Amino acid sequence: MNRLSLALETRQLSVGYRQKGAERIVAGKLSLDLWPGQLVCLLGANGSGKSTLMRTLAGLLPGLGGEILIRGRHLTDLKPAELAKELSVVLTDRLETGNLSAGEVIALGRTPYTGWLGRLSESDHYHINLAIEQAGVASLLTRKIQELSDGERQKLLLARALAQDTGVILLDEPTAHLDLPNRVEMMGLLRELARDSSKAILLSTHELDLALQSADQLWLMGKDGSLAAGAPEDLVLNGAFEAAFAGSGFYFDQLSGTFMVHRTHNLLHFALAGEPRLVFWTQRALERKGYGISLSKNHALRIAVQEENQDLHWILDWKGQRFSVRSMEALLQQIHFLAESTD
Ligand SMILES: Nc1ncnc2c1ncn2[C@@H]1O[C@H](COP(=O)(O)OP(=O)(O)OP(=O)(O)O)[C@@H](O)[C@H]1O
């Protein structure tokens, strides 16, 4: 792809704060590309610098070095009105809109196009209606903004950004206040917008699992001011994903693609056999108790799990002895009993 069609680009960008004449660089030497049609999730532990980078890219915080280009033009050369036609921002903590209705807030997204009288043209109405439909906020329009729930307000802010009709949309934690179905819906909506409307969307989030499943690219901020960018699967397989969130008490399991709370601390390992879904949950139960999994089929400790007529049962082969149980709880109790009596 021709680099001229990049939606946003940074070259050796440093972000951070100037305090009493001294610079505090939060992240440096960032050379990043954001293409039209791409959904990029910005991830990192608390305090790693996601908001700082987001605010710098949005022109709300001056960079400490390097360059930011929006469709090939330097951010610092763009007048505020020009920037507002290129890039919209949804920040979680900003809503200084007084006593406006939700519909009026969405219409504010057209400010860069309406001139100082603020009169809405046909094209403005078109974009407002499209934004209402895309964000699914038609039922909120007459409500006062203070009366909305956090989740409803979040969708409304997305609608305002969509009404602004920019090529780049930056969202700081857009799923923060949403429940699980709404988080999934919001991520799906952003995914669709990127793909179908060729928007370049960058969002920061703590939803690691959703980001892994939805993003075209992850930008992973490390605690040391570094940033690793790449396809989610590349960053999992090269260890960058786990390294960004390394902490005590949990680890990232590449096989299941999830963070696990428990490491094996028990010497007992089991070989598992059965339908993958049943093996998966049996493994989860064993790992929760600190047992390990063996890949050897001839292991002395084996568990086979089966489903017959919607009844589950587990056959535990314990060094040649066989036990049959009908629930996961019974399986764990049987193992515990056998382990205790063999000690
Ligand atoms: N206004 C400020 N002045 C000086 N330092 C700041 C300021 N705002 C944030 N910081 C510091 O910059 C670093 C990055 O903060 P930032 O808010 O960007 O992290 P974050 O990744 O968004 O965190 P979180 O996940 O907790 O929202 C932190 O060490 C923070 O203390």
Q: Does the structure show a pLDDT above 80 at 97?
A: no
Q: For ligand 1, what atom is nearest to the CA of residue 55?
A: 18
Alpha helix (H) residue ranges in 143-220: 150-163, 180-197, 208-214
Q: How confident is the model at residue 1 (pLDDT cuts 50, 70, 90)?
A: low
Q: For ligand 1, what atom is nearest to the CA of residue 48?
A: 21
Q: Other CB atoms closer than 10 Å to residue 343's CB: what's the count?
A: 5
Q: How confident is the model at residue 343 (pLDDT cuts 50, 70, 90)?
A: low
- Ligand 1: centre distance to CA 58 (Å): 16
pLDDT at 262: 59
ipTM of the complex: 0.98
Q: Does the structure show a pLDDT above 90 at 253?
A: no
Q: For ligand 1, what atom is nearest to the CA of residue 44?
A: 21
**Cβ(17) – ligand 1 distance below 6 Å:** yes
pLDDT at 334: 95
Query: Atom 29, ligand 1: which residue's CA is nearest?
Result: 47
Arithmetic mean of pLDDT, 229-237: 93
**Cβ(222) – ligand 1 distance below 6 Å:** no
Query: Atom 17, ligand 1: which residue's CA is nearest?
Result: 51
Pocket test for ligand 1, best of 13, 25, 52 (most atoms within 8 A of CB): 52
Q: How high does pLDDT run on average in the chain?
A: 89
Sign of the torsion angle spanned by Cα atoms 139, 96, 61, 45: negative
Q: What angle do CA 212, 216, 220 make, to 5 degrees?
A: 60
Q: For ligand 1, what atom is nearest to the CA of residue 45?
A: 25
Share of the chain above pLDDT 70, in %: 92
Compute the distance between CA of residue 54 and CA of residue 75 in angstroms, rounded to an integer.
14
Q: Does the structure show a pLDDT above 90 at 34?
A: yes
Sign of the torsion angle spanned by Cα atoms 70, 193, 179, 241: negative
Compute the distance between CA of residue 162 and CA of residue 167 in angstroms, rounded to an integer.
10
Q: How confident is the model at residue 295 (pLDDT cuts 50, 70, 90)?
A: confident
Pocket test for ligand 1, best of 41, 50, 64, 93 (most atoms within 8 A of CB): 50
**Cβ(47) – ligand 1 distance below 6 Å:** yes
- Ligand 1: centre distance to CA 35 (Å): 26
- Ligand 1: centre distance to CA 26 (Å): 8
Query: Atom 1, ligand 1: which residue's CA is nearest?
Result: 17
**Cβ(309) – ligand 1 distance below 6 Å:** no
Q: For ligand 1, what atom is nearest to the CA of residue 221?
A: 21
**Cβ(118) – ligand 1 distance below 6 Å:** no
Compute the distance between CA of residue 235 and CA of residue 229 in angstroms, rounded to an integer.
8
Pocket test for ligand 1, best of 24, 26, 42, 221 (most atoms within 8 A of CB): 26
